[in-house]
Chains A and B, each alone.
Chain A
Amino acid sequence: MAAYVHRISLLCLILSFGRRNVIRLLTLFFPLFAIIALAQTPAPAPPGQVGPAKSETPAEPAKPAKKEYMGSVVCQSCHEEIFNTMAKNPHWLLEQDAKRGFKEQTCEACHGPGSVHTESVSTADIRNPLRLSAQQANIVCLTCHRNQTTRVGVVRGGHARNQVACTTCHGVHRTQPAKKTAICGTCHEAQLAQFQRPYRHRLQEGGVDCVDCHNPHGRLLANPLRDVSANEPSCFRCHGDKRGPFAFEHFPVRTEGCQSCHEPHGSANPKMLARHEARFLCLECHANTTARNSGTIGGVPPAFHDLLNPRFQYCTLCHVKVHGSHVNRELLR
């Protein structure tokens, strides 16, 4: 019950708080895109389809000819280059495996029956997933790929919520995977720009890849990270010495993760820290101005920490085991 009261109160809050900002944004961006829309020639509507995709857009005015499967060899006659690359593609399994229902019809498994297209040679008469909306394009892929591990957590993933289609990242015709960093960078260029900072993970050098840390299909943990060895954040995949468990844990490492102190993509600060000096990072939590009633974790350091003395300006000089200590409560050794 309390949760529903929370929801209603929040809705009221949003309506009162963000209305002006939301209207400002809408007035900014919609005219821009309306102008762009007018400047465009109308995009061809998704073609009518038969086949497994039940929930696709209703067909265009019916074509007189009945659509039938022609076989991949017919496609080869015009699209030989794609046909040859497909022969080295994992999807080529369909061509040989009768159990999957598309034997010798690999192309039409995704593009739909091609009989009308072979006669008209018109792009309007063949299904092109790149021209479909994300939801419709995904239905084509999910005909075969719906029940897979990658689907776990999709409902919580940002890509699914943002209508990013499978084909946005996956090249269905490719013979080998494209460079993942380049694919991610086309949408996440702000994150890619962070890797141009001096202190960073070695992405450009190939030391790490985006998917080493992130799970693009969805996430099980609260933060957008991959999980390794069951339910640990992907940071521990390489930084195993920080995994613990420690006899004396540093609380935020377990709860808010490494990014509570570090900027994992890149930073202008040493050690990829979120602040220019470590002491500010520490003091922001460990100096409660209202320690008694703030209801937050993090106490006040003892008064001998004279911050005017250089010895106390570098917290990790003494608190060397800042990620957690096996033997010392103050994380000193």
Chain B
Amino acid sequence: MRRLWLIALCSMGLAAQEKPAAPAVEVAPAAPESPLTGFVEVGVRWNQGVHGNLDTYRSIVNLGEGMRLLSWDLKLESAGWKALRRAQIRGAGWGGDPSSWLVFNAENNKYYRLLVDHRTTAYFHSLPSYANPLLDRGIFTSQRSFDSQKRLTEVQLDLYPTARWIPYVGYTRDRGFGRGITDFVSDANEYPVHTNLSDITNLFRGGVRADYRHFHLTIEQGGILFRDDQSVFAINERNLGNRRTPFFGQTLSLSELLQAYQVRGSSIYSKGFLTATPADWLDLSGAIQFSRPRNDVTYNQNNKGQFVDLESLLFFNTQSIRLLAAASQPHVTANAGAEIRPFHRLRILESYMTDRLHNASTLEATPPVSDRLVWNYSQHQTEASFEVHPRLNLRGGYRYTWGDGRGRGPRLSQTVSESAELKRQTALLGLAFRVSLRASLNADAEIARSDKVLFRTSLSDYERLRMRGRYQFRPGFLLYGTLQYLNNSNPPGRSRYEFRSQQAGLGFQWTPGKSTQVIGEYTRSTIRSDLDYLAPQILQTQRSLYRENAHTVTGLFSRRLAVGWIWQPELSLGGSMFLSSGSRPASYYQPVARFSAPMWRRVDLIAEYRWYSVSQMFYLFEGFRSHLGFVGVRIH
């Protein structure tokens, strides 16, 4: 261990700008007799300071300094052990990185398979341009800021008592906690205050898979326990809120607040999958899934200050609210499908799917309030695929989508509920063309016409096209490209909504020799959206315009130096660049340089240098740039 530290410290002095070798070179198994193989990468990262907005840096990059266990992959394998024939543990990002994960699996093909997956994610978001009504006063704090952590753990155990019946159990735990800034809303004013976040979801599941020659059946039963104890608070402070003027001569303010949510939820769910092959020309499949989540909520609010009730126009100093609420949401999803092959070259794919969700809730207030949301959705699709030639496959089909939804109406619209329907017909077209082993083209298109849609922003009459092509010039050079196109326009008589997006990408992978590899990709995407809306304060039609014209370039040049020598260091240069113009112009650069070199028989030096830079033309105060270095060793 002392040696590791020594190497890391010496390397810091040698290379002032490098980092870890992310794409770990294929691990050469150690001596065949050794049951343990793999590698560990460990080192030190340092940051030469963030120039610009630190909060934006933390919202986007958030990499810190210090010792890091960058990644590891260890495999233990022995044919002689009955209980543990094979085990593997992999992970990355431990020691304080915003994303870290660990996967452990152990198995013996005859008895069991155990999988454990654990991840932690740090979520930091604090942008002064977002949710900041005080920006014009020169106050650079967001009133929707969060500094929180997510921890997700999944465990699954499959047992193999027989080759045909496979019982399994699983457990998932999702925990979120942290703090932030949010608003406490009172009539005529809102006050930025602190919030604490804390929620836990525990999911238990168990099931059995039956795997027979002509059919497969899976039945699973599960349950969820959910707890959310978030709170919002302010203690002994005079908070004037966002309102800049007195309200009817009174200055509204908040001095104390405790707003506590106690949410307790549970859900049971059942699901069943069936696939069957009753004949060589027929595959059948079906699934049904049912869940019934339910939440019970106790809400307490105590606030002191100077407030106003807009309905009665009365001012008051203290308020205490206790509410009880409950919501239940039965939800069933089912689908059935068939693949029919009446002839050698013809495949007919038929499927039906439905999704039905009904939410019913009550709020014990004065007067009591109940609410309901109904959503029924169905989809039927038929598609035929015909092999015109072994290299050319054409297909065409039809999809009919229909549904209806009903929810509460807007408070001032004098309607208790509002509802909408969905009726959409879509034509499906496609081809798969394998010109040769070296070249192929895939394309599929959808042309849809809707009689009714749910929302004004829903796609109504649209055409969608996706194309992908690959061409291998020579064994070491692969060229590929994609094109995606979506165009929507509402028919006359409906609210105007024009939406067009296009993404075109071109990339290549070139391996001119054993020691050199070059990868490059360029993507251009455009979004153009025009939608009319009604400005509420003047009740006049205005237009919401969104434009984005973005270029993304990604590349990596990698070369093993001094080929033929025993000492063969590897150098990689590359990174990515994002440039956009339009409604929110932005540029984001992430160049990177990596270096790795063998030091001893089982130890490599690894180093990496990264530069992060963000700039936004309309929000220059949110820009930053940062230099990050990493140096360490890879033991294998």
Does B bind A? yes
Residues of A within 8 A of B (CB): 3, 6-7, 10-11, 13-14, 17-18, 21-22, 25, 29, 33, 36-37, 40-43, 45-46, 54-55, 57, 88, 90, 93, 97, 99, 131, 133-135, 146-149, 151-156, 158, 160-164, 176, 186-190, 192-194, 196-199, 202, 205-207, 220-222, 227, 229-232, 237-238, 240-241, 243-249, 251-252, 254-256, 260, 268-271, 274-276, 278, 280, 283-285, 287-291, 294-308, 310-311, 313-314, 316-318, 320, 326-327, 329-330, 332-333
Q: Enumerate B181-196 residues with CB–CB distance to A below 8 Å.
A: 182-185, 190
Which residues of chain B are near A329, meaning CB under 8 Å? 369, 371, 408, 411
Task: Say yes or no: B216 contacts A149, CB within 8 Å.
Answer: yes
A sample of 9 cross-chain residue pairs with beta-carbon separation below 8 angstroms, ordered by A number, consists of: A7-B398, A7-B425, A147-B277, A161-B349, A198-B578, A247-B363, A255-B377, A290-B495, A303-B539
Mostly helix, strand, loop or mixed at chain A's interface?
A: loop
**Could you tell me the distance between the alpha carbons of A162 and B133 in the complex, rounded to whole angstroms?**
49
**Could you tell me the distance between the alpha carbons of A29 and B532 in the complex, rounded to whole angstroms?**
37
Which residues of chain A are near B387, meaning CB under 8 Å? 133, 135
Which of B182, B482, B537 is within 8 Å of A308, CB to CB? Answer: B537
Task: Say yes or no: B291 contacts A229, CB within 8 Å.
Answer: yes
List 6 additional contacts besides A10-B449, A189-B507, A205-B97; criterion CB under 8 Å. Answer: A3-B380, A163-B442, A199-B60, A229-B205, A287-B536, A296-B454
Chain B proximity of A314: nearest CB distance (Å)? 4
Which residues of chain A are near B504, meaning CB under 8 Å? 190
Task: Say yes or no: B455 contacts A156, CB within 8 Å.
Answer: no
Which residues of chain A are near B328, meaning CB under 8 Å? 245
Which residues of chain A are near B206, meaning CB under 8 Å? none
Chain A proximity of B466: nearest CB distance (Å)? 8
Task: Say yes or no: B400 contacts A3, CB within 8 Å.
Answer: yes
Task: Say yes or no: A294 contacts B495, CB within 8 Å.
Answer: yes
Which residues of chain A are near B144, meaning CB under 8 Å? 314, 316-317, 320
**Could you tell me the distance between the alpha carbons of A230 and B273 in the complex, rounded to whole angstroms?**
11
Chain B proximity of A155: nearest CB distance (Å)? 4
Task: Say yes or no: A148 contacts B275, CB within 8 Å.
Answer: yes
Which residues of chain B are near A17, meaning CB under 8 Å? 447
Which residues of chain A are near B197, meaning CB under 8 Å? 241
CB-nearest residue of chain A to B163: A99
Task: Say yes or no: A289 contacts B99, CB within 8 Å.
Answer: no
**Could you tell me the distance between the alpha carbons of A260 and B405 in the complex, rounded to whole angstroms?**
16
**Could you tell me the distance between the alpha carbons of A94 and B80 in the complex, rounded to whole angstroms?**
19
- Interface residue? B432 (CB, 8 A): yes
Mostly helix, strand, loop or mixed at chain B's interface?
A: strand
Task: Say yes or no: A135 contacts B393, CB within 8 Å.
Answer: yes
**Could you tell me the distance between the alpha carbons of A275 and B548 in the complex, rounded to whole angstroms?**
10
Task: Say yes or no: B535 contacts A287, CB within 8 Å.
Answer: yes
**Could you tell me the distance between the alpha carbons of A251 and B404 in the complex, rounded to whole angstroms?**
12
Chain B proximity of A206: nearest CB distance (Å)? 5
**B326, B351, B535: which has the most chain A beta carbons within 10 Å?**
B535
- Interface residue? B510 (CB, 8 A): no
Which of B132, B172, B201, B537 is within 8 Å of A303, CB to CB? Answer: B537
CB-nearest residue of chain A to B287: A152
With an 8 Å Cβ cutoff, the count of chain B residues facing the other chain is 211
- Interface residue? B119 (CB, 8 A): yes
Task: Say yes or no: A54 contacts B280, CB within 8 Å.
Answer: yes
- Interface residue? B82 (CB, 8 A): no
Task: Say yes or no: A205 contacts B427, CB within 8 Å.
Answer: no
Task: Say yes or no: B337 contacts A311, CB within 8 Å.
Answer: no
Which residues of chain B are near A18, meaning CB under 8 Å? 447, 463
- Interface residue? B350 (CB, 8 A): yes
A310 in contact with B136 given A230-B289, A231-B291 (CB within 8 Å):
yes
A245 in contact with B329 given A296-B453, A305-B536, A329-B371 (CB within 8 Å):
yes
Which residues of chain A are near B604, meaning CB under 8 Å? none
Which of B77, B135, B212, B373 is within 8 Å of A254, CB to CB? Answer: B373
- Interface residue? B255 (CB, 8 A): no
Task: Say yes or no: B242 contacts A149, CB within 8 Å.
Answer: no
**Could you tell me the distance between the alpha carbons of A57 and B297 in the complex, rounded to whole angstroms?**
63
**Could you tell me the distance between the alpha carbons of A309 and B30 in the complex, rounded to whole angstroms?**
68
Q: Enumerate B323-357 residues with CB–CB distance to A below 8 Å.
A: 323, 325-329, 331-333, 335, 337-339, 341, 344, 347, 349-351, 353, 355, 357
Which residues of chain B are near A11, meaning CB under 8 Å? 427
**Could you tell me the distance between the alpha carbons of A317 and B353 in the complex, rounded to whole angstroms?**
39
Q: Enumerate B213-233 residues with CB–CB distance to A below 8 Å.
A: 213-216, 218, 222, 224, 226, 228, 230
Binds A, one of B42-50, B584-592, B625-633: B584-592
Task: Say yes or no: A269 contacts B101, CB within 8 Å.
Answer: no
A197 in contact with B588 given A93-B109, A147-B214 (CB within 8 Å):
yes
7 smallest beta-carbon distances between A and B, as pairs? A299-B410, A207-B99, A147-B216, A245-B329, A230-B269, A276-B584, A163-B432
Which residues of chain B are near A188, meaning CB under 8 Å? 482
Which of A187, A314, A326 is within 8 Å of B299, CB to CB? Answer: A326
Task: Say yes or no: A231 contacts B505, CB within 8 Å.
Answer: no
Chain B proximity of A310: nearest CB distance (Å)? 4
Which residues of chain B are near A207, meaning CB under 8 Å? 98-99, 101, 119, 121
**Could you tell me the distance between the alpha carbons of A3 and B412 in the complex, rounded to whole angstroms?**
38
A249 in contact with B584 given A135-B347, A147-B215, A320-B185 (CB within 8 Å):
no
Task: Say yes or no: A268 contacts B580, CB within 8 Å.
Answer: yes
Task: Say yes or no: A247 contacts B327, CB within 8 Å.
Answer: yes
Chain B proximity of A54: nearest CB distance (Å)? 6
- Interface residue? B439 (CB, 8 A): yes
Task: Say yes or no: B435 contacts A40, CB within 8 Å.
Answer: yes
Which residues of chain B are near A158, meaning CB under 8 Å? 444
**Could you tell me the distance between the alpha carbons of A222 and B410 in the complex, rounded to whole angstroms?**
28
CB-nearest residue of chain A to B352: A156
Task: Say yes or no: B226 contacts A153, CB within 8 Å.
Answer: no
**Could you tell me the distance between the alpha carbons of A205 and B482 in the complex, rounded to whole angstroms?**
25
Chain B proximity of A320: nearest CB distance (Å)? 5
Which residues of chain B are near A193, meaning CB under 8 Å? 503, 505, 521, 523, 525, 552, 554
CB-nearest residue of chain B to A246: B327
Chain B proximity of A157: nearest CB distance (Å)? 10
Task: Say yes or no: A153 contacts B588, CB within 8 Å.
Answer: no
**Could you tell me the distance between the alpha carbons of A90 and B412 in the complex, rounded to whole angstroms?**
63
**Could you tell me the distance between the alpha carbons of A301 and B538 in the complex, rounded to whole angstroms?**
11
Which residues of chain B are near A21, meaning CB under 8 Å? 463
Which of A152, A202, A244 is within 8 Å of B327, CB to CB? Answer: A244
Q: Enumerate B372-410 residues with CB–CB distance to A below 8 Å.
A: 373, 375, 377, 379-381, 383, 385, 387, 390-391, 393, 395, 398, 400-401, 405, 407-410
* Per-residue interface assignment for chain B, residues 413 to 435, with 1 indicating a CB less than 8 Å from any chain A CB and 0 otherwise: 10000111100010111101111
Which residues of chain B are near A22, meaning CB under 8 Å? 429, 445
- Interface residue? B293 (CB, 8 A): yes
Which of A41, A57, A229, A332 is within 8 Å of B185, CB to CB? Answer: A332
